[in-house]
Amino acid sequence: MVQLDRYSGVPVYLQLEEGIRLRIQRGELTPGQSLPTVRRMADEVGVNPNTVARVYRELQREGLLRLERGLGTFVTESAAERVLAPEEIEPIEKLCREVIALSRRAGMALAELGRLLEALWKEDRDESS
């Protein structure tokens, strides 16, 4: 469902949250679809049910999920607004794969590439402001 990295320093609940958000954006989870139950998801990704519940609740507050007591957890209809069109997401993924190939060849670690991306993201933001 979502792959976690227990040693990245990023809290697992944030990784799960981002992972679910991303799967919705990429259209892998579609509006109306049900997510694994809190307990099942907890088993799948190997965390405590409370941690999953916290994530689901946060995503509910954000309007992406709908938690129904006694029924389960579902992607809301309004989440559709967040789904990226294939023509938006595909070029991004293509470029990302190129970046990854180059970074690997240069001996960079994922964390370092992440930091680079972050630094450039903020430069870019600061320039445009």
Is the Cβ of residue 62 or residue 77 nearer to a second copy in the bound state?
62
In the complex, the residues that contact a second copy under the rule CB under 8 A are 3, 5, 8-11, 14-15, 18-19, 21-22, 25-26, 48, 70, 82, 84, 88-89, 91-93, 95-108, 110-122, 124
Structure-block tokens of residue 116: 């680079």
Query: Which of residues 26 and 57 has its CB atom nearest to DNA in the complex?
Result: 57
Task: Closer to a second copy by CB, 1 or 36: give it.
Answer: 1
Compute the chain's Rg from CA coordinates.
Answer: 17
Q: How far apart are CA 45 and CA 38, in angstroms?
A: 11
Instruction: Pick out residues in 16-35 that bind DNA (CB under 7 A).
Output: 35
| Nearest distance, CB of residue 123 and a second copy, angstroms | 9
Q: What does residue 45 show for φ and ψ, rounded to 5 degrees?
A: -95, -5
Q: Please name the amino acid found at residue 87.
A: E
> Is residue 79 within the footprint of DNA (CB under 7 A)?
no
Question: Considering only CA atoms, which of 42, 41, 24 is closest in space to residue 33?
Answer: 24
**Are 57 and 68 within 8 A, CB to CB?**
no
Q: Which residues bind DNA (CB under 7 A)?
A: 9, 11-14, 35, 37-40, 46-51, 53, 56-57, 60, 67-73
